[in-house]
Amino acid sequence: MIKLLSILLVVALVVVQAVLFWLESREESSTVVLPATTSKATQAVEPHDIEIVVPHINVEQKSEEAQDHSTTQRSSDGEVYTQSAPHPWLEVTPSKADLELCRTLERLPIVYDEKTEHFSDLYQLDIKLVYSRRYTMPLSEFVNQRFEKKIYETVSTHLDKVYRQYIDWLGYEKLYQSKIDILIAYDLETYEALLDKYHASMPSNIPGVYLPLEHIALVHLPRTYEGYIDTNSLLRTTIHESVHAVNFVQFGYMHRWAQEGLAQYFAHFYESENPELFLDKATWDARSNYLGAPLLFDDVINTNEMWRDNRHALYASAFAFIQYLSTLPKADNPLLRILKFENEQPCSVVNKAWTSGALDFDGMFNNNVLTWFEYLVLDHEARLLEKQSERPTK
């Protein structure tokens, strides 16, 4: 009798363990990654897509389950990288083949008509949606003509501002027309397929990337939690990548801080009603991951491990540097000196030692940026009140 009870007890324990194992495996298999929806945690650290925004247009789309792609791998900090890709944030080192392709890129000068006081076409903008990894269609066929018109008009308005600024800084005689092709990936699977197709060594959770040799930009269609198109995020990323396209035609290969700082600077004209006031403290904290103040000059200009570990801090600090430099008088402005040099030799990377000397010629760059930062960011509310008081009353 005792032997029989012992056998029954063992059998019961085995059954209980089997049931628990089945329940655990069921719970794991029920966890689904939805590539059509971006989480708040992801948005908080993305350099192109910081704050949660409310879309202008709600276009309902069904979320799709993420596929298990053998072409991706996840790092210790949770970022997804293409399998054979080096980390993309450290250095800009074009090969001889890259430089040759840059030299053969067609650069058409801007023509000014004195009679009409108008410029020739400054750029050609083409935006397409890609779905099911390879099929393309106009945005109007995916959503509607009203949505497509809004995207084109908004991006064009801000590209006009980019050119107006560069014309003011450099003169139209030094600038070229740009061809800007944007491919918007419908879902994560399509985005990863495009990154793989164009051999883009970028994390697949980056919302957009510009590929100079192909002269196209890839953008992952952003979604809200409800599965709607996040139009604000889409416009912000598209403008950012379009600026990269314009910059490559004008300046070719630039240092990472200048590339991203300029793209962030011009995208800010879309994001803010008062872009000249830079960012308030809360927005700065979100973008820089609570950095406190911009990184020091050497940490931004020179390659270091912080670029790998704190990409959003690099973006925020580079943005701050460009914003600060843009406030200086045009005469002897160090940023304009660098841009003119880059414009004259677009298919080369300007020496960093020369860049450092041009920017921090008196050794006061860090102190000047910090003073500017405290005035605009830490005292942002006072600056905003001053701005509002300057507006004429009706």
Distance CA 41, CA 77 (A): 13
For residue 185, list its beta bridge partners.
130, 220
Please give the Cα distance from 110 to 117 (Å, whole number): 13
Q: Which one, of 72, 159, 81, lies nearest residue 123 by Cα?
A: 159
pLDDT at 235 over 50: yes
Mean per-residue pLDDT for 35-56? 30
Q: Output the average pLDDT for the chain.
A: 78
Maximum alpha-carbon separation in the chain: 111
Give the mean pLDDT of 61-70: 30
Mean pLDDT value across residues 224-251: 94
Q: Do 179 and 123 contact (CB within 8 A), yes or no?
A: yes
Query: What are the start-end ranges of the H helices in the chain?
Result: 2-29, 40-45, 96-104, 139-142, 145-170, 188-197, 231-251, 256-271, 281-288, 297-301, 305-309, 311-326, 334-344, 352-359, 365-373, 380-390
Q: What is the pLDDT of residue 25?
A: 37
Task: Judge whether 87 and 308 are in contact, CB under 8 Å.
Answer: yes
Q: Which two tokens stand for residue 34?
A: 């939805």
Where is pLDDT greater, at 137 or 18? 137
Q: 251-282, pLDDT tens digit by residue?
A: 999 888 999 999 999 999 998 989 999 999 99
Cβ atoms of residues 325 and 334 within 8 Å: yes
- What is the pLDDT at residue 112? 85
Distance of CA 200 to the CA centre of its chain: 15
Query: For residue 393, is pLDDT > 60?
Result: yes
Q: Is 19 helix (H, G, I), strand (E, B) or coil?
A: helix
User: Does the pLDDT value for residue 140 go beyond 80?
Assistant: yes
Tens-digit pLDDT profile for residues 175-188: 999 999 999 999 99
Domain limits of the chain?
Answer: 32-390
Q: Residue 368's pLDDT is what? A: 97
Place of tokens 């003119």: 340
Asked whether the beta carbons of 368 and 335 are under 8 A apart, the reply is no
Q: At what angle do helices 334-344 and 352-359 cross, to 10 degrees?
A: 150
Phi first, then psi: what are they for 125, rounded to 5°?
-110, 125
User: What is the structure's pLDDT at 127?
Assistant: 96
User: For the segment 355-365, what is each residue's pLDDT rounded down to a tens digit?
Assistant: 889 999 899 99
Q: What pLDDT was estimated at residue 186?
A: 94
